[in-house]
A and B are shown apart, each in its own frame.
Chain A
Amino acid sequence: MNAELRQVKTAAEQGLADAFAAARGSLPGAAAVAALREAAFGRFVAKGLPHRRVEEWKYTDLRALMREAKPIAAPPGVPEKAQAKDAGGMLGSLEARRLIFVDGAFVAEMSDLTALEPGLTIGSMADALAAGEPLVLEQLSRPADDMALALNTAFMGDGAVIAVREGVALARPIHLVFLHAGKPAAIYPRSMVDVGRASRLALIESHESADGRDDQVNAAIDLVVADDAHVDYVKIGAESSKALHIASLTALIGANARFNAFVFTTGGAVTRNQFFIRCGGDNSTIRLGGVSLLKGRQHADTTVVLDHATVGCQSREVFKAVLDGASRGVFQGRIIVQPKAQKTDARMMSQALLMSEDAEADNKPELEIYADDVQCGHGATAGALDENLKFYLMARGLPERDAEALLIQAFIGEAVEGIEHAGLRDALMDEAVRWLGARV
């Protein structure tokens, strides 16, 4: 590492260094955790915030986009917690088990921890770090190249630690509800979810905050899906349109498993959802999808690295972006097919609907195929709504905005359709309809 090559620190980089120096003594975890934090922060110091010349961050130049580093969130008090009473309400009809996080901190007394199904354990990450839980430490000690993930490891505060023992099919979804309520701050949630062999879990993660707040959220979740397990994961980003939101999902998928992940984004000034997914067992089925509904100057980047390391896995990716105003949608999809991953069947599609001349869509597919007996394909489109279709609908009596809304629903429906849980599918479509209704 050549220090001369490093650019001058930006205000945000300096702010992060100061914040780390000030917080390192009080962040949860004993010596082993502290060492992980130091190592992760060391990687950050060496490289700085990712910028446009870092290929993986080409379209989301954090060095330019992040002007300052917010102070680390303070533990929530009574008034902050009180604001979380109705958080996650849009999914109220699902009767999910709600786990509440205010300013990143787990609020056990507001979370639904009653009558836990046998085989399900739920704990707080801060507690797990303090106790030095071996399984948690082991998971955290896998070094990540990614700078956002490194920063999360350095600063991680709290989050959920969930384990589902083998052979347990949970009927109720678990919903991690993140609400930011105190002074706008930097929040670093870290969660870990371990789903045992042949178990079933539907996991929801939502992030909300009042409009106008400019929090900086860097969330990460580590997920292990054992053989024959079936996991649905849906993430909803509905924060203030001034927030910076970075989220990294790292998943290891076993054999004959099903993993279905979906990310729905309407909030944030700058959002980056990263998926690092590795097929670690044969014959699994992976479905990844997402919908971003953006307006104004919002920017949302979805970056997927899908590593087919084993035989006979099937993956499908369908990502859609509706871009209004001067918003920008980014999709980077990388598929790696390792030499031994024969019979891989991987398909990736990303489509952007440009609702205004100032909107921009960027798409970067990367296929790295090292096996010969595979099917691998990708497609991308970006364009405006079909004017002839719009006229057809208007000629039947739909006002222009309604005609557009119906066509947009059809457009995103193709992605939402991939969510297996019917209640979740409906809830997200309702959210989309609300968003469309608010268009002027």
Chain B
Amino acid sequence: MSLLEIKNLHVEVGGRKILNGLNLSVEKGQVAAIMGPNGSGKSTLSYVLAGKPGYTVLEGEALYNGESLLTMPPDERAAKGVFLAFQYPLEIPGVASMTFLRTALNAQKKTRGEPELSTPEFLKRVREVAGKLGIEPEMLRRSVNVGFSGGEKKRNEVLQMAMLEPRLCILDETDSGLDIDALRIVSEGVNNLRSSDRAMVVITHYQRLLDYIVPDVVHVLSKGRIVKTGGKELAHELEAHGYAQFAGEAA
């Protein structure tokens, strides 16, 4: 059984139809890239999977581990292992990163009926993971993302992902706003999480990221549908020839 199985998904937001019969399967252990031009519906897909309010599913379904995902509240999806690294991470004034991480981790554990992490265990893990991502302890004491640079926000998303150990990681343009060093660090963080029982959906519209996070499969999204699926060489093809060749196929 696929970890994620999306069938004929039609989604409307703000009175506009954005996803138009999208089909996609993601297997355990797989890294799947989704590439597509701006406005093709990549973020819409990621939000629908994470459960953002305001997105109306008109038709179709998304099964996660065989379970219907689209009717679950976002926190339940998270506890079951769905994680979205936001394209634009939000700032939360007054909530320290440390508190945020800890509250989130324990909330998920509580929902799953697992014991909470003790304070020393938690601190040890945060330091370890943050250290690998080049995140200063001082940053963890500050309010979530407040005053962070674009790159720092993205790193913070990957930190959250590493701490929460999800099973389905959806990374929405995690490469945007990163310089080459940050890109390497963030990619390493993501690669460290690759495992046989975890799947990653890496959304990007540049091939560059895929030199660091090498995908098993590449899907092309255009006008709200997957219009082409291929191996990692498809990313290079897109880089060389652009998306125009696929635009017609989606119509």
Binding site for B on A (CB under 8 A): 387-389, 391-400, 402-403, 406-407, 409-411, 413-414
Contacts and interface: CB of A to CB of B under 8 A. Distances in A.
B108 A392 contact: no
A410 B79 CA distance: 24
A396 B93 contact: no
A398 B75 contact: yes
Contact of B95 (A388, A394, A407): A407
B235 to A, nearest CB: 27
A397 B107 contact: yes
A393 B104 contact: yes
Given A407-B95, A411-B94, A396 B78 contact: yes
A420 to B, nearest CB: 19
Contact of A410 (B50, B51, B92, B108): B92
Given A396-B78, A399-B75, A388 B103 contact: no
Interface in B48-74: 50-53, 73-74
A162 B144 CA distance: 45
A397 B95 contact: no
A394 B50 CA distance: 9
A414 B93 CA distance: 9
B186 interface: no
Contacts of A409: 94-95
17 contacts: A388-B90, A392-B90, A394-B74, A394-B78, A395-B50, A396-B78, A396-B100, A397-B111, A399-B73, A399-B107, A399-B111, A406-B103, A409-B95, A410-B93, A410-B94, A410-B95, A414-B94
Contacts of B73: 394, 399-400
A398 B103 contact: yes
Contact of A395 (B78, B92, B93, B143): B78
A391 B53 contact: yes
Contacts of A403: 75
Contacts of B77: 395
A406 B50 contact: no
B104 A396 contact: yes
B52 A391 contact: yes
Contacts of A411: 94
Interface of B: 50-53, 73-75, 77-79, 83-84, 86, 89-90, 92-95, 99-100, 103-105, 107-108, 111, 143, 160, 164
Nearest to B92: A389
B164 A406 contact: no
A398 B77 CA distance: 11
Contacts of B92: 389, 392-393, 407, 410
Contact of B86 (A392, A399, A402, A413): A392
Contacts of B50: 391, 395
Contact of A397 (B52, B53, B94, B164): B164
B90 A397 contact: no
Contacts of A393: 92, 100, 104
Given A392-B86, A394-B51, A400 B75 contact: yes
Contacts of A406: 95, 99-100, 103
Contacts of A391: 50-53, 74
A401 to B, nearest CB: 10
Contact of A389 (B53, B83, B90, B104): B90
A112 B74 CA distance: 52
Contacts of B53: 387, 391
B103 A402 contact: yes
A397 B105 CA distance: 7
A19 B138 CA distance: 62
Given A406-B95, A407-B95, A410-B95, A395 B74 contact: yes
Contacts of A389: 90, 92
A41 B20 CA distance: 76
A397 B84 contact: no
A366 B107 CA distance: 44
Given A387-B53, A391-B74, A395-B78, A402 B107 contact: yes
